[in-house]
Structure 1
Amino acid sequence: MTLSIIYINYNTRQLLKQSLKHFFLISPAIDFEIIVVDNNSTDGSAEMLLEEFRQVKLIKSKKNLGYAGGANLGLKNASGSFVAVFNADIFIIQNSLETAINYMDNHTDIGMAGPKLINADGSLQYSCYRFPRPYTPILRRTFLGETKWGKREVDKYLMKDYNHNDARPVDWLLGGALIARKSALFEVGFFDDQYFLYFEDTDLAHRLKDKGYKVMYLPSSKMYHLHRRESADTGLLKSLFNPATRAHIKSAIKYFWKYKASR
């Protein structure tokens, strides 16, 4: 098996259905399997999969394991030499997976790669980043990010100074669409499931790079991402009532504590 595609689903039944229908219309020209890890959804996702996508391997978790835990459950059941981990809001474009796999086959020092992500309106979505500083989340959530210094720091973090049509090694990639060499993930121990939501992708890239692997942005592989940052409510005080924001803060604390010596 060349590629295992793992979708992480939590109460995104309709979006997952649309994404899978789109996927099978394109059907990559490589041998693949699709695994959907359902994180104890209550919206009928599992029933929909059993009824409409019997070719998909469904793994039902008895509780919501979060992104990292759900991904790890899928990875432990994956047969492919390469694995792709997708959110339900990812829609592949023709040849996107084949392009990434061929590139990684020819560059064995790459542990993980990410495609160019495109918003629904066709604009670029920034999906490769420099490692964050402890103040980066604060800049992205408060008025400080609107200051001259704050904008400069955020733009640097988002790599807005980089031509996103060029392939290059980067610090880390957005976890919504990742393609990785399974042997490299085995070597570093998969995702750290101490992160329930957010920063698990940053942490994984950090550990892969520490082992000598490259983390690569591959704009020749393109996918649509119908993305909305669930932790991005307007205003810091309002956002604190959002469970996704609180998870983001907890994960940030864990990440910066874990890598405090390298900051």
Structure 2
Amino acid sequence: MQLSVIILNYSVRFFLEQCVLSVQKALENVEGEIIVVDNGSFDDSCTMMHTRFPEVKLIQNTKNLGFPKGNNIGVAAAKGNYICILNPDTVVAEDTFEKVLNFAKTQENLGIVGVKLIDGSGNFLPESKRGVPTPWVAFTKVMGLYRWFPTVSIFTKYYAQHLRPDQTGKVDILVGAFMFLPRELYLEVGGFDENCFMYSDDIDLSYQVLQKGKDNFYFHQTTVLHYKGESTIKDGIYMKRFQEAMRFFYQKHFKVSFFFETFMQLGIFFFSLFKTLQGKTMNQKEPNTYLLYSSNEKLVKELQLVLGKKVLFQPYEGEKMVNSCLFKRKHGAEIILDNEVVSFKECIVILELLKNQGFTFKIIPKSSNFLIGSNNNNERGMILKIR
């Protein structure tokens, strides 16, 4: 078997449903399997999986065992030559795995491959590619020096700014939302370190692979949608675990003076506090218009009932819709994409092309009774049942 996709879920049932749908489509031309590990969800994630995806291997843990252990359990059950660690709040394009597999097979010293990630508004997520967060690199991140001096290399290592978002190349650290690597290599380094509950596990795994002399890559030729705010609520618990995670990584891999360790802990505290405040849901303006791209006009009435506003129906005509005059007239509109006719890859392309133009986006996954999306990467997103 070529590929095992491991999806660790914790109570994000609707995002999980959309994610598994997208992975199934992306595996149609790949010999692969999907393994969903549920970490003791309190919602009906497992019921949904049994009902809608009975063919998918589901491992049910009785409690939340954390990101590292949950994924290690999934990999232990995997049969693929390669594995992909994938967050449940992601959407992959139909050709994502084919492209990544083809790239991986050309590398002689392959470590981990990561891909271009965008958020629910179509904006690039800079954590798609990162450098090793040495004390100095972490300092430049905490102090925001990478923003102030974007052309000075000593300040831009945290987000691996030697590579553009549209440029494939070697990087040090990749994000746990999408990590593709040989299964044997994952097992060789011992997988994710279970002493870390979450947050620095992807950094640690990437660093361990580097220490084995392997090359990690950022691969830009496929884009994955990552809602990001959905897997973790950025609250006081987040701040505590983020501090613990960074402390874990430094104590494991670096020796620093007492003074610098104290300074870094203060920096981590203020950085995690900023992330907590950043994660609070922002007040969003209500869309002034809803545009449904579909082939099913009956959906209009259903959406109008739940949204309480007029919904304009637009027959989907492919990517050429992006340049239509209708879009130019509808600044501030919410675009609803019906996955029955709009592929996941096309959804991703549309988000990227129309980012920062005043639109928000939602997707109706194929054969589902809800629409789903997120207007920025700091909020939990929105689920709205429509049937």
TM range (shorter): 0.7 to 0.9
Give the count of matched residue pairs: 254
For residue 86 of structure 2, what is the aligned residue in structure 1? 86
| Distance (whole Å) between structure 2 residues aligned to residue 203 and residue 147 of structure 1 | 22
Q: Cα gap change, 1:148/1:128 in structure 2, threshold over 3 Å: closer, same or farther?
A: closer
Deviation sequence 1:150-175 (CA, Å, 0-9, x none): 98777431233421222111111011
8 Å CA contact 1:230–1:245 kept in 2: the answer is no
Shift of 1:220: 1.2
Gaps of 5+ in 1: 234-238
Residue identity opposite 1:61 in structure 2? N
Is the 2:84–2:178 contact (alpha carbons within 8 Å) kept by the matching residues of 1? yes
**Cα distance, 1:119 vs. partner?**
1.9
Asked if 1 retains the 8 angstrom alpha-carbon contact of 2:10 and 2:231, the reply is no
Partner residue in 1 for 2:188: 187
Where does residue 144 of structure 2 map in the other structure?
Answer: 145
Aligned position for 2:331:
none
Amino acid of the residue matched to residue 8 of structure 1? L
Residue type of the partner of 1:228? G
1:94 is displaced (CA, Å) by 2.5
- 2:268 is matched with none
Where 2:121 maps in the other structure, the secondary structure is coil
Counterpart residue number, 1:95 = 95
Structure number, greater radius of gyration: 2
Matched, 1:212 2:213: yes
**Partner Cα separation in structure 1 for residue 40 and residue 12 of structure 2:** 11
Query: C-alpha separation between the residues in 2 aligned to 1:53 and 1:204?
Result: 30
TM-score by length of 2: 0.61
Match for residue 301 of structure 2?
Answer: none
Q: Which residue of 1 aligns with 2:8?
A: 8
Q: 1:248 aligns with which of 242, 249, 255?
A: 242
- Matched residue of 2:220: which SS? strand
Give the equivalent residue in structure 1 for 2:71: 71
Alignment of 1:222-261 (within 5 A): 222-228=223-229, 242-261=236-255
1:89-139 Cα distance to aligned partner (Å, 9 max, x none): 110012111111111112131121001112222221111101113366677
Q: Secondary structure at the match of 2:46?
A: helix
- Distance in 2 (CA, whole Å) between partners of 1:48 and 1:199 is 30
- Give the Cα separation in 2 of the matches to 1:231 and 1:138: 24
1:207 partner amino acid: Q
Q: Which runs of 4+ in 1 moved over 4 A?
A: 135-141, 146-155, 229-233
Give the conservation status (yes or no) of the 8 Å contact 1:28–1:97.
Answer: no
Instruction: Please show how residues 109-128 of structure 1 align to structure 2 within 5 Å.
Output: 109-126=109-126, 127-128=128-129
What does residue 202 of structure 1 align with?
203
Q: What does residue 379 of structure 2 align with?
A: none
Higher relative contact order, chain-length normalized (CA < 8 Å, sep 6+): 1
1:60 aligns with 2:60: yes
> Please, what TM-score do these two structures have when normalized by structure 1?
0.87
Q: Which string of whole-angstrom CA distances, capped at 9 and with x for unpartnered residues, describes residues 214-246 of structure 1?
A: 11111113211111287785xxxxx5xx21221
- The CA RMSD over aligned residues, in Å, is 2.6
**Structure 1 residues 227 and 182: alpha-carbon distance in aligned structure 2, compared to 1, 3 A threshold:** same
